[in-house]
Amino acid sequence: MRHGRTLALAALAVVAASGRPAAAQTVETGEGVVTALPAGALNGVAVLDAQGGTLRAGPRLVEVAPDGTVTFPGADAVFDPQTTVDARAYSIDARGQTVAVGLGFSDVTADADRPPQTAAGFAVSTDGGRSYAYRPAPLDESRDSTVTVGVSTLRAYPATVFAFAAPLDLALTAGGDTLYAANEFAGLRRSVDGGATWSPVVTPPDSLFVLDPRERYDFAYTPDLRQPLGFVDGDRSQPFFPTASTNFVAYSVLVDEAGTVWAGMAGGLNRSVRLPGVDDLAWLRYVDVPVGSSVPSNLIYALEAQPRQGRDHVWAACWVPEGMGGEQEFGVAVWRGDDADGAPVFETVLLGVRVYDLAFDGLRAYAASDDGLYVSDDDGASWRVVRTFRAADGRPLPLDGPVTRAVATTPGTVWVGTPDGLLRSTDGALTWELFRADVAPTAEARAVEVYAYPNPYNPRSDGRLRVRLDLDAPSDITVRIFDVGMNRVRTLEAPGRPAGPNEVAWDGQSDGGLRVANGAYIYTVDAGGQTLSGRILVIQ
């Protein structure tokens, strides 16, 4: 199921220190009611997975049961003690009693625009999530110089680097006995022993639209295009690289109800074919060129099956690869089945929209995007977009913009992950509830007139820090943030605020638009003729 690609993923949590569920607390923020999720949660939600009535979210394998109970089942066993404590759930999939979680972490610096999505391994449960076993990342040994596909033995250049090899998507077969993982520059991999060992799955190179394991091939399998094969005359300033084949770089994977494997690569949408008497899969590749044209662009970022009577439909979120232009466009390709001649029938929807995730409730389709949540009530024929998420009383919820990153459905409910909290709707995306971390003040905060949360604050994972205060009468609010040397870092103006609870949000940046460094900061609040102050600890 869909992966998380932001720097921080959600820990959806209402759990007491003992691990037993604790009651959630609702808080009036002055802009709307928010349900508090205080137990180690983060606000940036970018991976969700639904299995029946159970919702799972990362990074700590939080489960929301059909009765609304929220737990951390087996969380302590998820992370390998040898990996960073910042490992996160990049992908989750569940079939029957098998639950698989792809783990990764981000190597970040204050200036990194796109940190590497670094592999950290897997957590696999075979008892419905009650306990988990850690499995290592599916990387190659440096001696792995060949790979076998049917009757062919191909040259292979091993993927040995953890960076850009996180398991971005996972797919289990119906019985949960085979696990596929899309690992970007580590390629598409398959495990038949619960993630203990992995083997490469070879899709057609960029030069082919069909891969038949009964045919002989001599191309090189090169999923990691960054690793040089050597250096010209030993000069390390002149590396030479393998011939690029973008269709080995894996972003998404799906096993549909018929057992067909769909692989979303940087070079197109790939569909498996089972041949009688042949163990290895044959593949068909669909791209945006006249021969086999089916998708609006070739980087298949997300895949999701829409349950239908008979054959499920397959939806693919298509992105334009970085640096590519021409005829390619963002959009969603929908496979509606094959025609009488066996040719695939594709439809394109949401052309021009960058879609991160997809989910379905019968003929209702949801698409998470930068623009908001797209909703179709008629199987993709027409769309409405939700950019302002409103509570049942009509007030807009206090979200930092319309961006949505993940979407999943449980019976009668749609869940949406945003960089600023988790949303839930039970009326077809008309009204919403917002869940956010650290909304409820601590005992210490309740004793003062102003407080900031979350504190400590991580701009990468927490989204916005909020300075909260109650006004006796309507007033302008000015928040100033200073470093420990009392140099002013940021000024936030909130004019015309009403009496009652109010919050002013800070994105962790200076007035000049630069992310602030780790350390202690002081904030002052001028409102209603008073000046109040407090401290913030920034840790990222």
pLDDT digits 0-9 by tens, 148-169: 999 999 988 888 888 889 999 9
| Interacting residues of 397 by C-beta distance below 8 A, sequence separation 6+ | 31, 32, 34, 389, 390, 391, 423, 432, 434
- Predicted confidence at residue 173, as pLDDT, reads 96
| Residue 488 per-residue DSSP state | E
Alpha-carbon distances of 507 from 10, 61, 115, 151, 457, rounded to whole Å: 18, 27, 19, 56, 10
- The residue that leads in pLDDT, 83 or 471, is 471
CB atoms within 10 A of CB 332: 25
Rounded Cα distance between 132 and 89, Å, is: 13
Instruction: Average the pLDDT over each of 168-172, 271-275, 321-325, 384-388 and give the range with the smallest value.
Output: 321-325
Report the pLDDT averaged over residues 525-532: 88
Express each pLDDT in 459-489 by its tens digit.
877 778 889 888 888 999 999 999 988 899 9
Over residues 251-276, the mean pLDDT reads: 96
Q: Counting Cβ atoms within 10 Å, is residue 389 exposed (0-12), middle (13-18) or buried (19+)?
A: buried
For the chain, give the number of residues.
Answer: 540
Residue 46: pLDDT above 60? yes
Residue 108 pLDDT more than 60? Answer: no
- Sequence-separated contacts (24+) of 239-242 with Cβ below 8 Å: 242/157
Q: Which two tokens stand for residue 522?
A: 């002081």
Q: Who contacts 390 (Cβ-Cβ below 8 Å, separation ≥6)?
A: 396, 397, 431, 432
SS3 192: coil
**Model's pTM, two decimal places?**
0.83
Quote the pLDDT of residue 358.
98
Q: How far apart are CA 434 and CA 36, in angstroms?
A: 9
Alpha-carbon span 181 to 411, nearest angstrom = 27
DSSP SS3 for 190? strand
pLDDT > 90: percent of the chain: 49
Instruction: Determine the pLDDT at residue 199.
Output: 94
Averaged pLDDT for residues 371-384: 97
Average pLDDT over residues 522-530: 89
Q: For 17-26, how does the pLDDT look when each residue is reduced to its tens digit (9 = 90+)?
A: 223 334 456 6
Q: What percent of the chain has pLDDT over 70?
A: 78
Distance between CA atoms of residues 89 and 92, nearest Å: 7
In tens, the pLDDT along 302-347 reads 999 999 988 999 999 999 987 655 668 899 999 999 988 888 999 9
Rounded to 5 degrees, what are φ and ψ at 469?
-155, 160
Tokens 């009688």 — which residue?
276
Higher-pLDDT residue of 202 and 39 is 202
Q: How does pLDDT run across 110-161, given as a tens digit for each residue?
A: 334 456 688 989 989 998 888 888 888 999 888 888 999 999 999 888 888 8
Over the chain, what is the mean pLDDT?
A: 83
User: What's the pLDDT tens digit per position in 50-82?
Assistant: 998 998 876 666 777 887 776 655 444 455 444
Element (H, E) at 435: strand 433-437
pLDDT the model gives residue 180: 98
